[in-house]
Chain A
Amino acid sequence: MEGNIIEAAKLIGAGLAMIGALGGGIGIGLSAHGAVQGIARNPDAAGQVQTNMILGIAFAEAVAIYCLVVALLILFVF
């Protein structure tokens, strides 16, 4: 089996790039935490809280998605 150092570096780099998804995960967890607490205290506001939560999750998730795109670019383009 012949070693190909560039292939190996690509795989390692893609794996390292996905570390950034950590931040997105924490952010989504925090926003869901706040939203559930808010709904528990005021169940009538559930609709509005949910809408804002989904928006917040979308923003937090965007950063994780950037990491994913970078990892996919490393894997399949370069």
Chain B
Amino acid sequence: MEKATTTKWRWGVHRWFVLLFIILGYFAARAYPPIRPHVQLAPERLTEHPIVLPVIGEFYLTNTLVATFLVDIILLIIVWVVYRAVQKGELVLGGFAGAMEALLEGIYNMTESAAGKWARAIFPFFATITLMVLVSNWMELIPGVDSIGWLEHSAHGGEAAQEIAPGVWALVKAAGEEAHGEGYMVVPWVRVASTDLNFTVALALISVFMTQVIGVKAQGAHYFTKFWNTKNLFTVPVFGAIDFGVGLLELISEFSKILSFSFRLFGNIFAGSVMLFVIGSLVPVFAQSLVLLLEFFVGVIQALVFGMLTMIFMAQATQGHGEAHEGAHG
């Protein structure tokens, strides 16, 4: 900021855009008062009948599934952009590809400092989970996600609908008594994938299962002595039994990892989007921008935490029981 004073003061363009949007937002909120959307924990179904696929079986096309496909497409576009930049043969990548390089290099260095020679096996999981969860979390910041979709008639609750353009309807606040009777609600086409427990549980299962696989790869069958520790059970009088009990507790903690992984991501992002709904309907003009900033931050932190915890657990699984103590101090 000290340096900025030496350059000539100029009135930028972007700040006027911000001011314009604040004023426009005020008038838009006056014209169409925002209403609190219907909050539902389970993802909404977009198709009436289940889709049948040969291997997977029956499933419904839900709006979080659409979001997952969108996340995949965005990641593939990122891959394509970076691939094009690498193909050009420049030594220093610029722009978006350079940012991706910096991110992945940071992730790789973090993995290497924790896992040592196993970094090459662990890095793909860390990077994939972080990128996927990051893109998925940031999707809730896009306008239109969670708010554009089919209009559905509901018998209990809901708001009145009004045609604002040919074929386009908007929910408006019903006057007085009608709000508690019949009404309409919006079934959004896209809902953030992280607000679906199926997505987070799937990621948590992959993470915990591959932790066991990497542990067996690193230590062979010796890995399972972590859970079934009978080494000292009959030779050392009391502490052998304690070691055996600790091994069983390790087994339980392995299952509770699935629970905590999935609920941490789900709870954070679902609560974030509910907060966006509520703040947006209570204070529609300026406060939501601050909440959007907070959600931007929470999205990064949760993606990093999910990936980093996966990496730490995998790194711990590659170290044996005896080595773990030396590794903790060294």
Contacts and interface: CB of A to CB of B under 8 A. Distances in A.
* A and B co-occur in one complex: yes
Interface of A: 51, 54-55, 58-59, 61-62, 65-66, 68-69, 72-73, 75-77
Contacts of B270: 72
A58 B264 contact: yes
Contact of A68 (B41, B42, B271, B308): B271
Contacts of B40: 76
A58 B305 contact: yes
A68 B110 contact: no
Interface string B294-330: 0000000100110011001000000000000000000
Given A58-B264, A69-B263, A72-B271, A77 B308 contact: no
Given A72-B270, A73-B41, A77-B41, A54 B304 contact: yes
**Interface SS of B by simple majority:** helix
Interface residues of B, number: 20
Contact of A54 (B260, B267, B301): B301
Contact of A65 (B110, B264, B301, B312): B264
Given A68-B271, A72-B271, A51 B110 contact: yes
A66 B271 contact: no
B262 to A, nearest CB: 10
B263 A62 contact: yes
Interface of B: 39-42, 110, 260, 263-264, 266-268, 270-271, 274, 301, 304-305, 308-309, 312
A48 to B, nearest CB: 8
Given A54-B301, A54-B308, A62-B264, 17 more contacts: A51-B110, A55-B308, A55-B312, A58-B309, A65-B263, A65-B264, A65-B267, A65-B268, A66-B263, A66-B267, A68-B271, A69-B267, A72-B41, A72-B274, A76-B40, A76-B41, A77-B42
Nearest to B305: A58
Nearest to B42: A77
B37 to A, nearest CB: 12
A76 B42 CA distance: 9
B275 to A, nearest CB: 11
Given A51-B308, A72-B271, A62 B41 contact: no
Nearest to B110: A51
A55 B310 CA distance: 11
What are the 3 A-B residue pairs with the smallest beta carbon separation, nearest first?
A: A65-B267, A58-B305, A62-B260
Contacts of B263: 62, 65-66, 69
B87 to A, nearest CB: 34
B41 A55 contact: no
B61 to A, nearest CB: 22
B264 A61 contact: yes
Nearest to A68: B267
Most buried by A among B264, B271, B312: B264
